[in-house]
Amino acid sequence: MQEDTDSQTRAETLFYIGQIAKLKGNTTQSAHNLQEAAQLYQREKNIARLAACHQHLAEVYLIEENRQNAYNHYQRSLEYFQDIKDTRGEQIILDQLGQLAKAQHKLVDAQAYFERSMAICNAPGDRIGNARTLMEIARLQEMQKKWLEAIDTYEQVAENYRKLNNPIAFATAYQHMGAIYLQLNDLAHARVHLQNAHQIFEENEHRAGLAEVYELLAKIHHRQKEWELAMENYHQAQELFHDTKQESRYAEIFAQIARVYQEMGETDRALELFEKALAINERLGESPGVARIFEEIGDIYQQREDLSYAIDMYRNAMSLKENLNNQLGVAELLSKIGNIYKTHLDWEKTVPCFEQALDIFTKLGNVRGMAFCHNSLAFVYHAQKSWDIARHHYVEALKNFEASNDFQGMAEVNFNLGNVFHDLGDWERALNRYNTALPLFEETGDFFNISQVLGNLSSIEFEQKTHTSAIAKQVEILLYFQKNQQTQMVEKVLANLVSCHQELGADTFQQLLATCLEELMQNGVQWGKNEIISPESATEMIDKIFYNN
């Protein structure tokens, strides 16, 4: 009997010493004490204490960032709580497993844990636990970009907290809904939800909540290009973040205001504010924030065509993202650097950037990134007249654009493949690609590229002696450029028509031109579903260009 008592006492002592060591940050000592206590509790079949021991061991391993061991001990703790039918303990562990899965971006697993937790909350009518777990599920849905599902869940959260008479939590749910509506670009609903949250936070003097709301309201004004209102709200948010000692958020507002100035074209002021944000993030050791700001400073230098500075900033950002194992970020920066070299026709430096980026995007299965890199490499090899390599990359780009349902990308690649075949004199394959690109450009409303496709179709038709159709397309393009006051393009098309005149002879050309002009005056210019120029406007423009000179 005395031996059993001594064992129980030793187990309890080790259990509490282990907790104290954990609180002091001595994780090695804590783990040793808790494991020894667990062995004694196992011998005594004290299931409740075993459950608690494994829960604390999981927390120790989380401190050490050993997530696998943490997961294993949470699972053992869960089994013990289930054995003794301790639903409260079971719910707590399920919530912890959900948080752990969320931190590892195992979002489906996380949601499953939270839903199991909520089922326990619902059984005894635990509205507080239900609301808290619903909040976690809603946040997971946000992370998965399941926007409408998240809004529905936040509505349930808000209703629970309304019944619990918890105004701050109620307002927080409305703040989240406002943020989602902003993400969906539904600014009217975003504004209503945020104003409701603002009123409640203000009535309850909840400064942290007010800071979040002011920042989101600023983003609405920012998106609507209401610069003064955007900056006014950003400044209010920044003051509150400062008062509530949220330094990283305080720094982020400098970056937000910098973005406003950048869009206003005041790049010097934008750089000044980005530098302030950078300094704070560096002091706080916020490497992701530092990397992001280096990248945005690089964007400004690229905008100003200070390209060596832009590349330096991008490389600074890339180095940090490599250290953070942010492979997607590294690939995106390689693409930006490659674009700079591509713009300046420095092929030797362009190709390695896009090849490295492509390798990363491929490993990540990032279809959009793969499409962009293949398309960029195709452009380089096309410019160098390396036809086979260019075609290979265009075809790969097309597959990826099709996989991501990117109509603009599909249209551009088909157009460029048409150009390859056009340059090779393969008229039939060129026509096939141009005719594939045309309805895609019409779908996206890219009228400039429609004009380019029509111009190339016209040149092939002229070679194939279908002169009427070729001339009609040239006149359509001419009227489009005239309407949009693109003088250089107008002159280029007029030069094409002069060449047609010279090749066909005056009589033949004038007869064909008159037929085309008459049809355009009757029907106007219609590209797909889009009326580009009405018959009335076409008649007026034709009179001015062709008959009043």
Within 10 angstroms of residue 348's Cβ, the number of other Cβ atoms is: 7
Instruction: For residue 507, give every residue at least 6 positions away whose Cβ sits within 8 Å of its Cβ, in sequence order, or none.
Output: none
Nearest residue to 17 (alpha-carbon basis) of 44, 45, 46, 53: 53
User: What is the per-residue pLDDT for 321?
Assistant: 95
pLDDT bucket at 133, cuts 50 / 70 / 90: confident
CB atoms within 10 A of CB 425: 9
Q: Does the structure show a pLDDT above 50 at 1?
A: no
* pLDDT given at position 402: 95
DSSP conformation letters of 170-186: HHHHHHHHHHHHHHTT-
Q: Is 221 helix (H, G, I), strand (E, B) or coil?
A: helix
Tokens 């946000």 identify what position? 142
Residue of 498, 462, 461, 505 lying closest to 478 (CA atoms): 498
* Residue carrying structure tokens 């950037």: 353
pTM above 0.85, yes or no: no
Please provide residue 450's backbone torsions phi and psi, each rounded to the nearest 5 degrees.
Answer: -60, -45
**Whole-angstrom Cα distance, residue 436 to residue 433?**
5
pLDDT at 279 (0 to 100): 96
* H or E, element range at 530: strand 530-533
pLDDT band at 122 (very low <50, low <70, confident <90, very high): low
Mean pLDDT of the chain: 91
Of the listed ranges 39-48, 91-100, 249-258, the one predicted with least confidence = 91-100
How are beta strands 530-533 and 525-527 bridged, if at all?
A: antiparallel
Q: Return the DSSP state at 547.
A: I
**Quick one: 326-405 is in which CATH superfamily?**
Tetratricopeptide repeat domain (1.25.40.10)
Cβ-based burial of 265 (10 A; exposed 0-12, middle 13-18, buried ≥19): exposed
Helix (H) or strand (E) holding 525: strand 525-527
Q: How confident is the model at residue 285 (pLDDT cuts 50, 70, 90)?
A: very high
